[in-house]
């Protein structure tokens, strides 16, 4: 029977603002030293429960199909499960040679898929959650910025396939927030109005409510402004 300390070690997870836990690992693309090898780039590190499972297969095909799109946003993809390297290789070959999904076929997964038989990496990132499974990683998604800092994380249960539009949207929104010193409202996409930080004093609040500049203020704490879609994409997307 596991001790409380062992359970905490399994389910503990890094938080937003933490340094991404470092590790060395064998992958389908050779050894990696994480996150050092990805310095200067955004990374999406994501886990899946097991090779040769249908939901995971649909996700890997989708990520591989979108890899170039993420790359243009200066973002690399790194996958993980607790299966071994040879299982990974056989599964990825099967995907390329046999599987069709939503019009995708002959999909080659070129990004690294980590071998994590010991569950060492999965435990560091809180991907093993005993209430869901003690032997499989949940569907975790970690957004790690160019400085190796965790900026966002999303967890899904084993049965729920991820929404890749939302993963990409979140990546672009965080980069836009960094580059333009703004925040993004609910359901934001490039071209939508953005949020200006709340006023820090009564004087600034009054100025905002009476000014006729680029700000649109519903009240002193809720101000938006236009941010052109092309300006956002030019600042983020490589052409």
Cβ(171)–Cβ(185) below 8 Å: no
Q: Give a yes or no: residue 73 inside a domain.
A: yes
Q: What is the 3-state secondary structure (H, E, C) of 63-92?
A: HHHHHHHHHHCCEEEEEEECCCHHHHHHHH
The number of folded domains in the chain is 2
Cβ(158)–Cβ(49) below 8 Å: yes
Is residue 202 part of the annotated active site? The answer reads: no
Q: Give a yes or no: residue 12 inside a domain.
A: yes
Structure tokens at 46: 């994501």
Structure confidence at residue 1 (pLDDT): 45
- Which residues, in sequence order, are bridge partners of residue 156? 139
Same domain? For 19 and 110 the reply is yes
pLDDT digits 0-9 by tens, 177-207 = 999 999 999 999 999 999 987 755 555 556 6
DSSP E strand stretches across 6-160: 23-27, 30-34, 42-47, 75-81, 113-115, 139-144, 150-156
CATH of the domain at 94: 3.40.30.10
CATH of the domain at 190: 3.30.1020.10
Catalytic one of 56, 75, 217, 223: 56
The residue segments making up the domain with residue 198 are 181-236
Q: Give a yes or no: residue 104 inside a domain.
A: yes
Residue stretches of the chain with pLDDT short of 70: 1-12, 135, 199-213
Nearest to 23 by CA among 130, 133, 142, 108: 142
Query: Residue 169's CB: how many other CB atoms inside 10 A?
Result: 16
Same domain? For 131 and 72 the reply is yes
CA distance 174 to 183: 8
pLDDT digits 0-9 by tens, 50-71 = 999 999 999 999 999 999 999 9
Same domain? For 25 and 64 the reply is yes
| Annotated binding residue 139 | yes
Same domain? For 154 and 101 the reply is yes
């Amino acid at each position: 029977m596991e001790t409380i300390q062992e359970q905490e070690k399994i389910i503990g997870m890094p938080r937003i603002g933490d340094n991404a836990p470092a590790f060395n690992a064998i992958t389908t693309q050779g050894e990696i030293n994480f996150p050092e090898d990805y310095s200067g780039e955004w990374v999406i590190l994501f886990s899946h429960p097991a090779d040769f499972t249908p939901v995971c297969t649909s996700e890997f095909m989708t990520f591989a199909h979108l890899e170039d799109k993420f790359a243009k946003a200066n973002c690399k993809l790194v996958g993980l499960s607790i299966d071994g390297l040879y299982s990974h290789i056989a599964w990825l070959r099967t995907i390329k040679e046999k599987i069709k999904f939503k019009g995708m076929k002959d999909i080659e997964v070129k990004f690294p898929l980590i071998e994590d038989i010991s569950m060492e990496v999965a435990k560091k990132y809180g991907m093993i959650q005993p209430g869901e499974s003690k032997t499989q990683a949940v569907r975790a998604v970690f957004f790690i910025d160019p400085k190796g800092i965790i900026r966002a994380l999303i967890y899904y249960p084993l049965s729920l396939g991820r929404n890749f539009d939302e993963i990409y949207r979140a990546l672009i929104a965080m980069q836009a927030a960094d580059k333009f010193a703004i925040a993004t409202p609910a359901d934001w996409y490039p071209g939508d109005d953005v949020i200006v930080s709340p006023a820090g004093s009564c004087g600034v609040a009054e100025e905002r409510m009476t000014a006729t500049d680029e700000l649109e203020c519903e009240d002193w704490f809720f101000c938006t402004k236009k941010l052109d879609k092309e300006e956002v994409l030019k600042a983020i997307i490589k052409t």
